[in-house]
Amino acid sequence: MQGDTLYRLSKSGVVSMSVGKQGADGLFATCRNTITDLWLPLIGYLTFFCGLLNLLIDSRAMEKVARFLSPVFHRVFPELRKDHPAYGFMTLNFAANFLGLDSAATPFGLKAMESMQEDNPNKDRATNSQIMFLCLHAAGLTLLPTSIIGYRAAQGAANPADIMIPTIITSFAGTLAALFMVAGRQRINVFNWPVMLSVLGISGLIGGLMAFIGGLSGVSKFHFTDNLSNGMLLTIIGLIVAYAFIKEKYFTEKGTNMFDSFVHGAKDGFTTGLRVLPYMLAMLAALSIFRNSGLMDIVMSGLSWSLALVGVSKEVIDAIPVALMRPFSAGGSPGLHAGCHEDLRPGQHHRAIELPVPRRGGDHLLRGGALLRQCEREGQSLHPGHHAAGRPGVCDHGHLRGAAVLLTRVIAHVAKGSLEARSSRPMASSKIAQRSSKIHGNGVFATAPIKKGEDIVEYKGKMITHAEADALYFGDIDSGHTFLFTLNEDWILDANRGGNVARWINHSCDPNAIAFVHGHESEDLKKDRVIIEALRDIKPGEEITYDYGFEFDIPYTEELKQIWACRCGSPKCIGTMLKPKPVKASKATAKKIATKAKKASVK
């Protein structure tokens, strides 16, 4: 697998070159993560939902659900008696799948299987009902694919909810195919009015939902589906508890109460969870080795080549690994799926182009670039004297790609001491105040003298990922009042939440301050901080400004410059907040800079 080349310098002085990224966790990480990320959460879901299921059973609601659905279910699962408890579990399993809540669907599915297994005369052989249920469950009719939308949002999709309609259509087609194929194999006649009425009813529901969602746009789609699915889950939980409360007499008759009934069911769920762990671990560990060995890539390449020969399109071929993984591992397929999103995720360059119109709030992709360049300049000692030890390299972007990372890493180790010294320096935040500004809306002003090099204030805000920023603020072009600041390639400070006075600092072409990202000495990008520092002595009453350094990967049209017009009023004002595009340095200039940097490092 090819990818970006990354150079890293370890403390032992070894430079390692990496190409591409690891496709799956290694064996130990897989074993650990299977427990921590898959099994423990599953135990939690199982415990909770099996507790709820027991409320359904003890309140006799399950019997009613089974009776109500038996005209349909009995025709699809003719082996099961009309009041079989598995009907209730299946209903809840399908409902959870409808809502895209995989985690909630699993406990109900397991309970349905267990319930059918009790009536299975040959314990080593699956019954027709179990096979039918497995196929219908695997087809997974989904109305609200919240998990997939979540993956897409996490990977920075422009509109994560775009997947909805294709998912509904394909999962519906898959479910119908599963129903008819298994019914044909098991010689079950499903062409009768209860089953057909159900199919038509679900089709109508899907059509209505698609029509409604089709009318929504952008973020609204995501918010609607998210709230609808989670709202329905909460409603179901509320209804179960409320029904159990109304029918509390049944609990009394059994010599128990609602809470004890819940706990009894929860214990059952916990036991079920214990039983599934070995299966999960065995399969995921083997898959980890299979993927990381590179053998899976070879198998998939061969498969793709064969399918391409018969005219299958590349889009379909690319999805085959996920489709093949799905029957073997419900945990592994989402991992592959997420991997596909990761591989197909546009790079920073493309993401910048993706923006239809750059906006103040959505500049997080761009302002980060400007800061990075500041760091690089700093690394070359073009801003001497900004740091306690007068040494370059406070900007430690440990994950930059290409040869530049080597330089920043080398310097970062040299500058470690000065970083520690700096973090303990006091801030001049008591010397500033927010007021109305002539530049734009609010501004931040000095209320006392601030000396050159003094740390003025830290730019604070809730830490969010780029994907979250895209999901929250994408399309929010006209608001002009979101405050996002790129901290590094992983994190963004969202000063809309938990922001401080620093978010009001305006841009100027002749700034008296500068924003620096201060990399933490550990490689934990979450610990990086943004500090606004005085570039020169600032008098009381003077507005604090820094250069936003916006830069876009699209041509600077007059319209774009107008959108980003600068109103700083400085004689040096260039009329726009957009930074001029960098011009490639001539060899002579490059040589001069190199010489200057060498001299600075000698000092």
DSSP-derived secondary structure letter, 160: G
Q: Are 176 and 203 in contact (CB under 8 A)?
A: no
d(CA 506, CA 570): 13
Kindly state the smallest distance separating residue 525's Cβ from other proteins, in Å.
Answer: 13
Closest CA to 45 of 125, 105, 120, 117: 105
Q: Which two tokens stand for residue 128?
A: 């027709």
d(CA 69, CA 538): 76
- Side chain identity at residue 108, one-letter code: F
376 or 454: whose CB is closer to other proteins? 376
353 or 403: whose CB is closer to other proteins? 403
Kindly state the smallest distance separating residue 448's Cβ from other proteins, in Å.
Answer: 37
507 or 579: whose CB is closer to other proteins? 579
Residue 311 Ramachandran class (φ > 0 left, ψ -120 to 50 alpha, else beta): left
Q: What is the phi/psi pair of residue 395, to 5°?
A: -90, 110
Kindly state the smallest distance separating residue 249's Cβ from other proteins, in Å.
Answer: 47
Kindly state the smallest distance separating residue 372's Cβ from other proteins, in Å.
Answer: 11
Q: Which two tokens stand for residue 186?
A: 């098991």
554 or 594: whose CB is closer to other proteins? 594
Kindly state the smallest distance separating residue 339's Cβ from other proteins, in Å.
Answer: 8
Site residues, other proteins (CB under 8 A): 1, 6, 8-9, 13-29, 282-283, 286-290, 292-295, 328, 335, 339, 342, 376-377, 379-380, 403-404, 406-407, 410, 585, 589-594, 597-598
Kindly state the smallest distance separating residue 189's Cβ from other proteins, in Å.
Answer: 30
194 or 346: whose CB is closer to other proteins? 346
Kindly state the smallest distance separating residue 237's Cβ from other proteins, in Å.
Answer: 33
Q: Are 210 and 166 in contact (CB under 8 A)?
A: no
Q: Which residues contact 85 (CB under 8 A, 6 or more apart)?
A: 57, 62, 63, 66, 115
170 or 293: whose CB is closer to other proteins? 293
Pairing of strands 484-486, 462-465: unpaired
Half-sphere exposure of 118 (CA within 13 A, CB side): 10
392 or 499: whose CB is closer to other proteins? 392
d(CA 553, CA 355): 10
d(CA 480, CA 164): 30
Kindly state the smallest distance separating residue 583's Cβ from other proteins, in Å.
Answer: 11
367 or 409: whose CB is closer to other proteins? 409
